[in-house]
Chains A and B, each alone.
Chain A
Amino acid sequence: DTAVSQTPKYLVTQMGNDKSIKCEQNLGHDTMYWYKQDSKKFLKIMFSYNNKELIINETVPNRFSPKSPDKAHLNLHINSLELGDSAVYFCASSPTGSLSTNEKLFFGSGTQLSVL
């Protein structure tokens, strides 16, 4: 039973399109995240939500809009896709978001987005 599941696993689309990635966690965690991993494997935080409330928004273009309908789900909608958006997007969750207290991040298996 997958703890953090995201769909789709692969997403190939044209520039200018709008697309969404969905994420669900069944761990009962309060905090969920979106990370972007570029072609050089660099992992960077995009957003963090705690109990449906936006906690972190790290200088991400406003074409990216996260939505958290409940604390078990955090979806990512991207408008007007650009070539530079091509990357692997990882959803993650943690119990309370207090990562400096040894809380563990649980990652999904990633969504590989390719913008042509």
Chain B
Amino acid sequence: GENVEQHPSTLSVQEGDSAVIKCTYSDSASNYFPWYKQELGKGPQLIIDIRSNVGEKKDQRIAVTLNKTAKHFSLHITETQPEDSAVYFCAASKPGRRALTFGSGTRLQVQP
């Protein structure tokens, strides 16, 4: 089955710096790659996603890039703010697979 690896497990940055979280997936049939943000005591929430026919997608301070050849995708957060502090999960899915396979999560801490 699909395996999604995520790095780093923890990331601490200063407010205003950029943060990058990386994921790799194993199943070349995967074609949908969302990112979820989980704040303390809450369920994960979708923040951005990308399909395999697109190399990059941006939404204000967050962007996601995809390298299909390397089976690798990344989340980029620019101008980080303390409210960006949370656990971030990458995930992957493929046609016919009615569930997301999540990475192991990255705890991002933005120091004010």
Known: A105-B46, A107-B45, A110-B43. A99 touches B104 (CB 8 A): no
Query: Contact string, B78-97, partner A, CB cutoff 8 A, digits 1/0?
Result: 00000000010100011111
**Could you tell me the distance between the alpha carbons of A44 and B3 in the complex, rounded to whole angstroms?**
11
B: interface residue count bin: 20 to 34
**Contact digits for A8-42, partner B, Cβ 8 Å, 1 yes 0 no:** 00000000000000000000000101000000111
B89 surroundings in chain A (CB, below 8 A): 43
| Interface: B41 (CB within 8 A) | yes
Residues of A within 8 A of B96 (CB): 100
Whether the pair B98, A50 counts as a contact (CB closer than 8 A) is yes
Closest 9 CB pairs of A and B: A107-B43, A43-B102, A41-B105, A45-B99, A99-B93, A97-B98, A100-B32, A100-B93, A100-B95
